[in-house]
Amino acid sequence: MKIINKSATTVVSALALLTAACGTVDEGTAPTTSAVERKAISTTSTTLPSPTTASSAEVDPLAFIDAELAELPVYTEPTVAGKTQTNPAAGGSSGQPSGSGGSPATPNQPSAPGVPGGYTGFLGTIGIDEVLYGAPASVPVAASGTAPLTGLPGSVPNRRAVVVKVDNSSKARPQSGLTNADVVFEEQVEWGITRLAAVYHSTPSVVGPVRSGRTTDISFINSLGGPALAYSGANDIIDALLLRQTTVVNYSAARSNGYWRDNSRSAPSNLYTDTNSFSHNGSSPPAQFAYGATNGGAATSKVSVNYPSTKVRWNWNGSGWARTQDGSAHTVDTGQQITVANVVVVVVPEVGTSMVDSAGGDVPEYVFAGSGPASVFVDGKRVDGTWTRPTLRDPAILVDGNGQVIQLSPGRTWVQLVVSGAYSSS
């Protein structure tokens, strides 16, 4: 995807952004937190244009997606048992491999660059241990004998977590592997559609379609204790910022093997990978949430999350939250509807990056670092509170209005990054 620089329009501070994020949200007000030290860093914000500002005759909101393919450089990939590796940039083919378990991929990770010129976001300018907010409680710790990313009992595999960026456009569905992810982060990108960052540790999986990275990813990849990051590529500025995350092993398809294309689908939404290719070496990730009995909360059966061009619904079915998207059950390629134990909605600030895509849409950045309102949907209940991530290295600390840690049900979790007023429940 072609990205160009764009002049900044509004200057704000990180302090103002984080403070604004702690305001009232739809169907509930986050509790007021005690005064703690915040780090005020100047940054720049631009406002995302509404997808309705341009008629369909002027621009197709999804047309820019196809341009991304041409930005990937050409390279040669080897053949791996069970699948024919091809150059993702060239749109080559292979059939979907039978089963999982690819050979280890080799990253070609350049030295971490400095902050690139022209970038006016926030996340790319801070260090992994730079303190943004005071911790209201201790960070979550995995109980002995439980999986760190789900809280489920059993043997814990000694491998790093793998984060895969997954396409969520209409052309990409049904996706592969989302029901195997321990945690999924959903973030807004250009033109109000969303992209997914699926985190795998407990269960390896074939995953796809794989798409490009965004600076929002810096918010959560650093808390996973040295994960692998698998994505199709990125423009020079975003790629440089992702490479600056030195605790993360970068497996961009533009530099690494371990990917193939499925010719039964249209490019660019046909790039796939196998997490086994990236999880070798490393160690288990730290816990991201606390698990246990849920205290308090209001009975809830439906959650609505409204991005400008993606409408998400979660319905409590008595044992989990079943997902619908844009009016239809959100299923994977096996026909299974996505259902999770927990839905965590975090209200985050939006800042500008001074980049636009090839169709003219602003490239936003969502800052899941610092503190803001949160609503946790667990066991058919809604618990309102606050999320706090003191540094990029820390997982989110979720506390309720009384300052007590909010505990999740053991199982898979979906995290929705939203702006204020973008969700409701009943």
Q: Which amino acid appears at position 154 of this protein?
A: G
Q: Can you tell me the distance from the alpha carbon of 216 to that of 122, in angstroms, rounded to the nearest whole number?
A: 10
User: What is the block-wise mean pLDDT of the chain (426 residues), using blocks of 10 residues?
Assistant: 34 38 36 30 28 29 37 28 34 38 64 79 96 97 97 95 97 97 97 97 98 97 97 95 96 96 95 96 95 93 98 98 98 98 98 89 95 98 98 98 97 98 98
Domain that holds residue 87: 4-425
User: Residue 203: exposed, middle, or buried by beta-carbon count in 10 A (0-12, 13-18, 19+)?
Assistant: middle
DSSP three-state, residue 198: strand
The confidence score (pLDDT) of residue 116 equals: 83
The whole model's pTM is what?
0.80
Q: How far apart (Å, rounded) are the C-alpha atoms in residues 55 and 59? A: 7
- Which of 217, 270, 277 shows the shortest CA–CA distance to 241? 217
Question: What are the φ/ψ torsions at residue 211 (nearest 5 degrees)?
Answer: -130, -170
For residue 241, CA distances in Å to 40, 290, 298, 389 come to 21, 30, 41, 20
Residue 168 pLDDT: 98
- How many domains does the chain divide into? 1
Using alpha carbons, select from 138, 175, 142, 172 the residue that is nearest to residue 157.
142
CA quadruple 188, 20, 368, 300: dihedral sign: negative
Task: Write down the pLDDT at residue 391.
Answer: 98
Return d(Cα 87, Cα 89) in angstroms, integer.
5
What pLDDT does 66 receive?
Answer: 37
Domain CATH for 388? 3.50.90.10
- Strands in 259-261's sheet, in edge-to-edge order, are 206-207, 271-274, 259-261
pLDDT in the model for residue 117: 82
DSSP H stretches of helix in 61-183: 64-67
Phi-psi region of 301 (alpha: psi -120 to 50; beta: other; left: phi over 0): alpha
